[in-house]
Amino acid sequence: SLDGFNELFSKICSESKNFTKIKVGLEAIGHYSYNLLCYLLDKGLPTFVINLYRKSLILRQTKTNKVDAMTNA
């Protein structure tokens, strides 16, 4: 929702006013991330969509946020 987008943007801005030091990465989840991507780009934040390829990095082929965070680091 727009309220959620605004809340996220406020939290990002509270970390640094200098957008050159901030990079936002979004998981490529199809059309679900397009609105947020456009919102953040319109606000001037460098935002990237990341296509996660981690099957070769783990033995268990399950998707978890913890595994995704480690492969994006």
Q: Over the stretch 7-20, which tens digit does the pLDDT of each residue have?
A: 989 998 888 777 77
In this prediction the pTM is 0.63
Q: Over the stretch 17-62, which tens digit does the pLDDT of each residue have?
A: 777 788 888 887 777 788 888 998 999 888 888 876 655 455 555 5
What are the angstrom distances between the C-alpha of 28 and each of 15, 21, 48? 24, 22, 9
